[in-house]
Amino acid sequence: MPELTMPTTRQRPLDPPDEITALRQQAAIHRMTYADGHQGWLVTGHAAARAVLASPCFSNRPEHAHPPIPSARMELATRPERLRVPPGFFLRMDPPDHTRFRRLLTGQFTVRRMKTLEPRIAEITEACLDAMEAAGPPVDLVQEFALPIPSLVICELLGVPYEEREQFQAGTKVLASLESKADDAVAALGEISAYLYGLVGRKREKPADDLLSGLIESGELSDEELTGVGVLLLIAGHETTANMLGLGTYALLTNPDQLAAMRDDPSVVDNGVEELLRHLTIIHLGPIRTALEDVEIEGVTIRAGESVTIHLPAANRDAARFTDAERLDVTRPAGGHLTFGHGIHQCLGQQLARAEMRIAYPALLRRLPGLRLAVTPEEVPMRSDMSIYGVHRLPVTW
């Protein structure tokens, strides 16, 4: 059997690499050679992906994981200081450490809580559209719309003061780009952490009606832990929804019938958002889990210590789970996709992301009914080289 390394080159911008699709059609789990030579696994099937992500036999701690592909971040990931989980970075913890943080935060991200945020998200969206209209056409939709909406929303939710946002966003920009050198990313993370540590101190002195103040009030976390939680939520809040809004708009603009359905029929929007999440699956190079003990998944024995990379775009195109899975169809029932993950680490902010997308897509399409690409689809630079997929820029006109 030839040695498999993870294919990452996409033949078509919205589809997983053809080699990945071919693998998924053969089997749900495959032996794969990792960038450091580790013999691990690649999961391409939906049911197998769910099984791994839901299993308590797998760890998400960084010291166990091997990098599936070589990257600038690989060097970063293998540095000794990165092999420990910073205080508050609950995404990379296992139970019971993870449980403690997750429990403190879930109440802040309930469906009902997100509903109460909707009017504010709508205001932010309209303000971005006003600015975009004033600036263009043409404009880069990423800079004017896709990035600022989730950025403003997460800053407000966390309690980052308005007048400090610009200085703050400079740091996240460096961090969000995988083009940044490892040292620059570490420095940016240090700066953001220092900023948030200072903010935590100020919130302790003068609490407000925001998430950080609420967490401080609970009295359960140290300042270092509060800083880590804040940094994690801030990064997650920036990169993910921004890329869904950018790539989703690209997908709609290049599929005009789907765009018309999302624009003209409000009853399609909720489901259309799920379908865009499924079809686009911006988390395209992971997640990675490592077996803590021998475990059998769909007849395959994964040995203790072996890393497993879950290919979420492949799993979300699994024909065994979704009918006509390769097609973008905003009217299909797309629930059950794995874009937010599965198991105990399933995205904490998913209901916030849904609220933002359910408001932002229709607002954009209705405000600018003549919206179209200002370049050819082939000229739009895709984030193939990034851990979160999307468009680098989206030049549009109307």
Partner 1 sequence: MEIKADTTVCIGAGMCALTVPKVFDQSEDEGTVVLLQDDVPQELEDAVRRAVTLCPSGALSVS
Task: Characterise 186 by phi-psi region: left (phi > 0), alpha (psi -120 to 50), beta (else).
Answer: alpha
> Which of residues 22, 25, 31, 54 is near partner 1 by CB under 8 A?
54
Return the SS3 of 381.
coil
Other beta carbons within 10 angstroms of residue 3's beta carbon come to: 8
User: Is residue 295 classed as helix, strand or coil in its secondary structure?
Assistant: strand
Residues 6+ apart with CB under 8 A from 302: 41, 291, 294, 295, 296, 308
For residues 373 and 135, the answer to whether their CB atoms sit within 8 Å is: no
Q: How far is the CB of 105 from partner 1 (least distance, A)?
A: 8
**Nearest-approach distance from CB 109 to partner 1, in angstroms:** 7
The amino acid that residue 274 corresponds to is E
Inter-CA distances, 362 with 110, 263, 356, Å: 23, 6, 11
Closer to partner 1 by CB, 108 or 316: give it: 108
Contacts of 239 (CB under 8 A, 6+ apart): 176, 388
Q: Of the candidates 102, 173, 366, 367, which one interacts with partner 1 according to CB under 8 A?
A: 102
> Residue count at the site for partner 1 (CB under 8 A)?
25
Q: Which one of 16-24, 29-37, 100-108, 307-315 is the stretch in contact with partner 1 (CB under 8 A)? A: 100-108
Rounded Cα gap, residues 14 and 240, in angstroms? 16
Burial 98-125 (b: 16+ CB within 10 A, else e): beebbebbeebbeeeebeebeeebeebb
Q: Which is nearer to partner 1, 111 or 304 (CB)?
A: 111
Told to check if 342 binds partner 1 by CB under 8 A, we report yes
Q: Which of 211, 268, 351, 361 binds partner 1 (CB under 8 A)?
A: 351
**Part of the chain binding partner 1 (CB under 8 A), chosen from 147-155, 202-210, 281-289, 335-343:** 335-343
Tell the smallest beta-carbon distance from residue 253 to partner 1 (Å).
28
Q: What is the CA radius of gyration of the chain?
A: 21
Q: In this chain, which stretch among 57-65, 110-118, 192-200, 298-306 interacts with partner 1, using CB under 8 A?
A: 110-118
**Comparison of 146 and 355: residue with beta carbon closer to partner 1:** 355
Nearest of 125, 12, 64 to residue 288 by alpha carbon:
64
Tokens 């263009």 correspond to 136
Q: For partner 1, which residue of 110, 116, 167, 301 counts as binding (CB under 8 A)?
A: 110
- Looking at the Cβ atoms of 259 and 269, the one nearer to partner 1 is 269
| 398 is a contact residue toward partner 1 (CB under 8 A) | no
Candidate residues 17, 68, 150, 341; the one interacting with partner 1 per rule CB under 8 A: 341
Residue at 138: amino acid letter: P
Name the minimum Å distance from CB 347 to partner 1: 8
- Is residue 12 at the binding interface for partner 1, with CB under 8 A as the rule? no
| Pairwise CA distance, residues 181 & 312, whole Å | 26
Nearest residue (CB) to partner 1, 18 versus 217:
217
Our CB check for partner 1 shows the closer of 12 and 112 to be 112
Piece of the chain touching partner 1 by CB under 8 A; list 97-105, 139-147, 194-202, 309-317: 97-105
Q: Which of 18, 63, 107, 369 forms a contact with partner 1 (CB under 8 A)?
A: 107
Please give the residue ranges that form the binding site for partner 1 (CB under 8 A).
53-54, 102-103, 105-112, 335-336, 340-344, 346-348, 350-351, 354
